[in-house]
Structure 1
């Protein structure tokens, strides 16, 4: 069993996404898989238990650097808004799965599985996890905020997002 685990870790290490700083950055090379974090604020948020509106993909020619990562935006106006207050727009927990952090771990998050709560953007990893997260959003936020200081210094997640593919920002 140990050989299998070692072989799996070795195989995955060749396919790992790129990372910079504490921000989760997947194989696209962009924070939040190249989606425009400012644009989330203008999307309709669906009720708990319903899939969210699809996020807006950023462009490769409209970017900014923050928290050790490159962020893509759909418009210059969104880039400007982000640069004025990046912490307001960046997802909580450096873009890692909010439910994972509530459980004491640092795992990637899927930008399509989002929710804004108390003016903060939270991401999760899978549709099943969203169900656990939404069962007690305030309680999970409290747990995650309590866990985050202890796991935040750990390196960014080195896992890929399950069942998610992204080509990153759209071409200019």
Structure 2
């Protein structure tokens, strides 16, 4: 019996050390994309959002997958722009509500409720959390960044 228990424990060790799923590190609360990866930022084209301030839904035929999450775009040009410099367009804190991250939670980040500050995209659960963030952008960003380092790999349900 002891041999069986030890064998089972050894077999389970790789699973315990496995990396977190994309759903833990990137807000993919919007189902699965046409390509099979979880869909991020509600399918909104991040290039159009950052460049034009316009949250427009992209199309599955123009998609890219980064860190296990799929992103849609409205055109081949926007897809190529994103692929050339994804860090410029990806939302902070995995696309979760940045104010929520500042208080140690992972709430849905709505691309209709966003802020562009210091060349970075921040998403928010709603207008109230966006307004709280805007009261102290620098301080809230610093707090959220510190918390993100602690909760990035923690499942939403464990916070």
| Residue of structure 2 equivalent to 1:57 | 57
CA distance in 1, matches of 2:24, 2:61: 22
For structure 2, the residue ranges without an aligned partner over 5 or more in a row are 1-21, 33-38
SS at structure 1 position matched to 2:122 = strand
Question: Could you tell me how far 1:41 is from its partner in structure 2?
Answer: 2.1
CA deviation map 1:114-167 (0-9, x unaligned): 111111100000111112111111111011111111011113x46xxxxxxxxx
Question: Out of 52, 64, 80, which is 1:43 matched to?
Answer: 52
Question: Could you tell me how far 1:21 is from its partner in structure 2?
Answer: 5.8
User: Residue 24 of structure 2 contacts residue 154 of structure 2 at CA under 8 Å; is this kept in 1?
Assistant: no
| Residue of structure 2 equivalent to 1:9 | none
Matched, 1:25 2:34: no
Q: Mean Cα displacement is larger for which, 118-127 or 100-109?
A: 100-109
Count residues in correspondence.
131
Larger Rg: 2
When the two chains are superposed, the root-mean-square deviation of aligned CA atoms in Å is 1.8
For structure 1, the residue ranges without an aligned partner over 5 or more in a row are 1-18, 45-53, 159-172
User: Residue 64 of structure 1 contacts residue 79 of structure 1 at CA under 8 Å; is this kept in 2?
Assistant: yes
Distance 1:21 1:143, change over 3 A: closer
- Runs (4 or more) in structure 1 with deviation over 4 Å come to none
| Residue of structure 1 equivalent to 2:110 | 110
Greater share of residues in helix: 2
SS at structure 2 position matched to 1:132 = helix
